[in-house]
Amino acid sequence: MKIAFIAHDRKKDEMVNFVTAYENVFEGHELYSTGTTGKRIMEKTDLEIHRFMSGPLGGDQQIGALVAQNEMDLIIFLRDPLMAQPHEPDINALLRLCDVQGIPLGTNIATAEILVKALDRGDFAWRELVHKYKPGAEI
């Protein structure tokens, strides 16, 4: 599974704590993140994370490009709803793409925990079928 982590500035500590708590679940998956969030997670865990640019510098769009191609399987995006973000259009585009492609998306810690427990149980195996039967894939 390809999993992305994104966190606004005031949510980065919460993201690091969350990923640390579920490090054993995330092991063995392909992990992606925006720049600073990924750096902070790797400093506190043994996880390897492909880091894109910082969100405001295009990292949200880079992850969005994978979502648009249906190449991302799960996104945990801890948003700060009380702080205006200069790259709000990019954030909205990413959320919209997740809806279009049916990508599971957790935008708060409660939803993220439900998604990670489902991941641990194997409830997202259906995503393997998405990859197997997407246009251009060998059947």
Catalytic residues: 60
* Cα(131)–Cα(117) distance, integer angstroms: 22
DSSP string, 34-94: -HHHHHHHHHHSS---EE---GGGTHHHHHHHHHHTT---EEEEE--TTS--TTHHHHHHH
